[in-house]
Structure 1
Amino acid sequence: MSRESCKECCTEEFHPRNFSLNHENPQLFVTAQGGFGIAYVIYRVLWALFHVTWIILSGVIPYSWYSSESNRIKWFIYLTNWSYLILTVSAIIQAAVAINHYVKRRKHDGVSNHAMTWYLKMAWVIYNISSNAAIVVAALYWGLRIPPKLAAGGEIHYIDVGTHLGNAIYVLSDIFITATPVRIYHFLHSSLYAIVYLIFSVVYDVLNGTNAVEGSYIYPQLDWDVPGTAAIYAVLVALVAVPLVQCVLYGLYRLRLALYGCCCPRSVGEFNTESSTKQEFQLA
């Protein structure tokens, strides 16, 4: 990529309009980067079924994450489970819009979406949050939780591997399949999600809530009895880690466009100098 094209790309990406959920090509949100067909619909449905199955298993399979049967309800207090639930919802929505698009294309023999509908915007927000959260949760778990657990002789359950590594692998691989765009400014969606969880953790602590093994905090890093340390972790996650992860996702998105541009030029349009918009996908 030339220096001039890099400058154009940056100028386009950091335009204030990219704070919004508008997009000139709604087809990107219902199809794969390389084209659309029944294979993509099947891909979406299978992943939705997988995530639904896995999130159910994470709550019902008995292992050492809780100390008593009554504490299993505390599955709902953990950021991991919030984030995997949102990932599952995102997968279900993506499957639904792909099916809807497929049916409409067959019925009308053409393009089904001419504008960004409310449900496409909703799908984009949830996709942004779930993708970012999956990477952040995986990094926090393997970086902060696992070392002391292994040092204490603990074991890693396969459910934990799925919810703290499988989620990230899914997101990082799916970004090369889907045609959904990534916007740097949309880190705000994930930062807001992180802030909501942090507020929940504070309220839960004030109400003397305990974790699933009767600890006085949800996570030791968010022990609000030690507010200074908890606040530092909170700021680092919501205002540093989340934006950085969004930049990584954006970089992978640009890599996807470059790869498809080389291998499948029809899937990535040319820069339109008259409208100054990037036609990132063209239906076959």
Structure 2
Amino acid sequence: MKTIRQEFRKSQFNFKYDKPQDFAVWAWQIDREKISGYFIFYRFVTAAFFLSVLVANGSISTTPTYFFIYLTNLGFIIQTLHLVVSIAIPIELVLQKANNEAADGFKWTLLDRFSWFLYNVTNLLSIAISVIYWFALFTPGSGLSAMNFLVHGFNSIMSICDILVSGRPCRLMHFYHPLVVILAYIAFSSIYWAAGGVNSNGNSYIYPVLDWDNLGLTVPFVTIGLFIALPVVHTLLWSLHKLRDYLLRSRIKRKFMAKSVTDGQDNPVYEL
């Protein structure tokens, strides 16, 4: 309960954070000051892969005019941007060390804040896109292409894997980050409909669940999504971060307890 109460402090609403290195290391790293070359390589590979998929998806689209109206594509663009920006974070800290700017600790920069925002948006948005597609839009037996799986399934897999392997934190109060983006898209879909816009099939809506001619479907969907589904998903993602940190602390504690028994020394305290 103490952990949950701490999440609702006013300070948890902003972007202040005193451990920038958590954004540039593996989750299981004990030495949080060391930037791993393998971690930078991981960032390069994932960013390059998503960038390649994004370019391929755009190039094979039979209706490129409508590419940017779909939340799936916009979400994948945001996720790709997040992964690209994430490359810069460990490199930034390496440069701070090289230039002797980290003598009193790594600097928390605007780039770090922007990266955190993208991370929060990507995690929730990717899950939301996958759930909506597979449970509300996908027609069983209609076939599934590799690209369809990548943009509607692998996006969420990547987000979950990134949570587990990276050391980034998550705050309950940061729910407003993805919420702002989703509200903006809902507003866009209504404006697009009011202006007479159509989707790639000529329908007067972008998605059937956002058909503003059918308020009996759209209003309950939006209401339940905003006030129930999205908060629940964000809470589950926050819980996953906490579970990751708990398991890692337990692992580190067991490791050093075993070492202290072997060495005949007191077990030192290590903070993750």
Common fold: TM-score over 0.5: yes
Between Structure 1 and Structure 2, how many residues are aligned?
Answer: 253
The alpha carbon displacement at 1:158 in A equals 1.1
The aligned runs of 1:150-169 (5 Å cut-off) are: 150=140, 153-169=141-157
What amino acid does structure 2 have at the position aligned with 1:58?
Answer: N
2:204 equivalent to 1:216: yes
**Structure 2 CA distance for aligned equivalents of residues 241 and 95 of structure 1:** 31
Residue correspondence of structure 1 range 1-284 to structure 2 within 5 A: 7-35=1-29, 36-62=35-61, 69=62, 71-108=63-100, 114-146=106-138, 149-150=139-140, 153-265=141-253, 281=272
3-state SS of 2:26 partner: coil
- Tell me: CA distance 1:33–1:230, structure 2 relative to 1, closer, same or farther (3 Å): same
What is aligned with 2:263? none
Partner-residue secondary structure (3-state), 1:98? helix
Q: Distance in 2 between matches of 1:236 and 1:19?
A: 24
What is the DSSP-based 3-state SS (H/G/I as helix, E as strand, rest coil) of the residue aligned with 1:212? coil
**Runs of 4 or more off by more than 4 Å in structure 1?**
109-113
Counting aligned pairs with the same residue, the percent is: 26
Question: Which ranges of structure 2 fall in alignment gaps of 5 or more residues?
Answer: 30-34, 256-269
Taking a change above 3 Å as real, the CA distance of residues 111 and 261 of structure 1, as seen in their structure-2 partners, is farther
CA contact (8 A) 2:70 2:206 kept: yes
Deviations 1:159-184 (A, max 9, x none): 11001110100111110111110001
Decide whether the 8 Å contact of 1:129 with 1:190 is kept in 2: yes
Comparing both chains, which one has the higher relative contact order based on Cα–Cα distances under 8 Å and sequence gaps of 6 or more? 1
Q: Distance in 2 between matches of 1:280 and 1:229?
A: 50
Q: 1:25 deviation in Å?
A: 1.6
Q: Per the alignment, in what secondary structure is the counterpart of residue 230 of structure 2?
A: helix
The residue type paired with residue 242 of structure 1 is L
2:261 corresponds to which residue?
none
Pair 76,266 (structure 1): closer, same or farther in 2 beyond 3 Å: farther
The 8 Å contact of residues 96 and 106 in structure 2, kept in 1 or not, is answered as: no
Letter in 1 for 2:80: T
Q: Structure 1 102/114 Cα, relative in aligned 2: closer, same or farther at 3 Å?
A: closer
Maintained 8 Å contact 1:194/1:237: no
Query: By how many angstroms is 1:228 displaced?
Result: 3.2
Moved more, 236-245 or 120-129: 236-245
Asked whether the 8 Å contact 1:32–1:177 carries over to 2, the reply is yes
TM-score norm. by structure 2 comes to 0.86
In 2, distance between residues paired with 1:266 and 1:18? 30
Distance 1:265 1:115 in 2: 29
Distance, in Å, in 1 between the alignment partners of 2:9 and 2:237 is 18
1:14-60 per-position Cα deviation (integer Å, ceiling 9, x unaligned): 22211111112222122222233101000011111011001111111
| Offset from partner CA, 1:99-129 (integer Å, 9 cap, x none) | 2223333453966963432111111111100
Q: Residue 213 of structure 1: CA displacement?
A: 1.6
Distance 1:203 1:18 in 2: 33
Amino acid at match of 1:21: F
CA contact (8 A) 1:104 1:112 kept: no
